[in-house]
Structure 1
Amino acid sequence: MKSNRLTYRVRARNALFSEPITRAGGEKNSLLVPTYQALKGITESIYFKPSIMWIVERARVMNPIKTEVKGIRPVKYSGGNDLSFYNYLCDVEYQVEVRFVFNENRPELKEDWNENKHFFIAKRSLERGGRRDIFLGTRECQGYVEPCEFGSGAGYYDTTESMEFGLQYHSIVYADENAQAQRTVKFWKPKMEKGVITFVPPELCPIERLISANSIKTFTVGTDFQSVEREFVPAGGQ
């Protein structure tokens, strides 16, 4: 059996999906729905390998969209503390569907393009709550993941025909994720239909901005790693 698709449930007490441009004054205000990049980061916390790239396909909003403001005392760069107000999403839960493709911009890792191996390792990592800490937008918003069937259970917006959220941040495409070796930021206009947001891939976003041109770090056998696993790792393996 071959597959490259995972569905999982992620939940947290708070979430803060924001853009750096909105943080200039020290305040942070969350977007109302998760960004593509935030969900990709959560998926990479479950399982990451440089030989594959995760693509977020859909997200289902399960709970009503609510916000709360908290007073925060962040550390100032010049020393001491400051007083800021952060606007968080509260009591969030999402169902997410993702898939992976091989990163063809890293031909030195071609021997690691084993679909079965990566799928089953990712599946086991998801069943154990991920390989790294899960957080939603910022480090203080700790989250939890578990497997689920996409579309199962009742969602708050199941009967809401359509909701639009205007222009917002989508993702960052890094140098090793495109043939031009460029780092670009993407923007789009998300639309939720009956609680489900269907994401467009980064290359189809209508607006993009070039950040910089970077060289791609290459991995060398014997220097950066000893060998590439060819075989399928059986259930229960590490």
Structure 2
Amino acid sequence: MRNEIEFEVHGKYALFTDPLTKIGGEKLSYNVPTYEALKGITESIYWKPTLTFIIDDLRIMKSISMESKGVRPIQYHGGNTLANYTYLRDVRYQVRAHFEFNASRPELYHDYNEGKHFSILHRALNAGGRRDIFLGARECQGYVEPCKFGEGAGAYDNQEEYHLGTMVHGINYPSDIEKDEMQVRLWNPVMKNGIISFQRPEECRNVRKIRDMKRKEFDETNMTSVDDLFEQLK
């Protein structure tokens, strides 16, 4: 496919926080990344409002291992609180994804050029991404590189099914659903032979509204080309 990307992402620590554990100030990571976390990683490699990234599959390469740390969260109103965060340790994943043109952005139709975006996306991947890669939290630095999905030995290749319970799938933003609200999606993933195949966002049936939100509009004032910008500066 001319819109597909396969890459490996790894790091010393990851924190894909289960929101139920944040109420008391503690944080506990999910066993695996969420769809939204992987989408954010992919968008850190390359992103434009013209595109929507769809995460297809995730392969777990290393055994799920956790480590707890005592941390001091920033207290903006004073205080010196000590909290306990539980991180995933020594993580490595293979990801397969693809991009589609964002149908809710018809004003960007002039930028619907699959070959151009495919080439830029893969150049950005070969360079390690355009932006810093974070594995769920700012303190968890990640690294990306190209790979062939399915190559190499994974920690769970011989485990037929691994049920992961109810997890956050991702967030629906106004630009994705053409509604002026933010929503959260939930689902029940099952890892089969080390691979999680994700539902598409529109296939998730368990959706909850978080709050009202207006979408960002893109027009000539914030979509100036580099050539036009140089002309304005002359």
With the shorter chain as reference, the TM-score category is over 0.9
Give CA deviations for 1:144-193 in whole Å, capped at 9, x if unaligned: 00000000000010000100011111100100011334321000001000
- The size of the alignment, in residue pairs, is 227
Contact in 2 for aligned 1:109/1:228 (Cα 8 Å): no
Cα distance in structure 2, aligned partners of 1:204 and 1:56:
13
Contact in 2 for aligned 1:111/1:228 (Cα 8 Å): no
Partner in structure 2 of residue 233 of structure 1: none
Cα distance in structure 2, aligned partners of 1:110 and 1:19:
37
Instruction: Give the gaps of 5 or more residues in structure 2.
Output: 228-234
Cα distance in structure 2, aligned partners of 1:27 and 1:181:
31
Partner in structure 2 of residue 124 of structure 1: 123
Cα distance in structure 2, aligned partners of 1:119 and 1:228:
20
Which residue identity lines up with residue 47 of structure 2 in the other structure? F
Residue 203 of structure 1: how far off its partner (Å)? 1.1
Partner in structure 2 of residue 43 of structure 1: 42
Cα distance in structure 2, aligned partners of 1:73 and 1:179:
39
Cα distance in structure 2, aligned partners of 1:97 and 1:79:
44
Partner in structure 1 of residue 230 of structure 2: none
Flag the 1:214–1:228 CA change in 2: closer, same or farther, 3 A. Answer: farther
Aligned ranges 1:79-228 → 2 under 5 Å: 79-221=78-220, 223-227=221-225
Find out whether 1:29 has 2:33 as its counterpart: no
The 3-state SS of whatever aligns with 2:148 is: coil
Residue 75 of structure 1: how far off its partner (Å)? 1.8
Which residue identity lines up with residue 51 of structure 1 in the other structure? T
Which residue identity lines up with residue 224 of structure 1 in the other structure? N
Flag the 1:228–1:214 CA change in 2: closer, same or farther, 3 A. Answer: farther
The 3-state SS of whatever aligns with 1:94 is: strand
Residue 228 of structure 1: how far off its partner (Å)? 8.9
Which residue identity lines up with residue 224 of structure 2 in the other structure? Q
RMSD, aligned CA: 1.5
Residue 24 of structure 1: how far off its partner (Å)? 1.6
Cα distance in structure 2, aligned partners of 1:36 and 1:48:
16
Partner in structure 2 of residue 57 of structure 1: 56
The 3-state SS of whatever aligns with 1:85 is: strand
TM-score scaled by length of structure 2: 0.93
Give CA deviations for 1:87-133 in whole Å, capped at 9, x if unaligned: 00001000000100001111111100110011110000000000000
Cα distance in structure 1, aligned partners of 2:98 and 2:56:
7
Q: Percent identity among equivalent residues?
A: 50
Cα distance in structure 2, aligned partners of 1:101 and 1:72:
40
Which residue identity lines up with residue 226 of structure 1 in the other structure? T
Cα distance in structure 2, aligned partners of 1:8 and 1:142:
16
The 3-state SS of whatever aligns with 1:82 is: coil
4+ aligned runs moved over 4 Å, structure 1: none
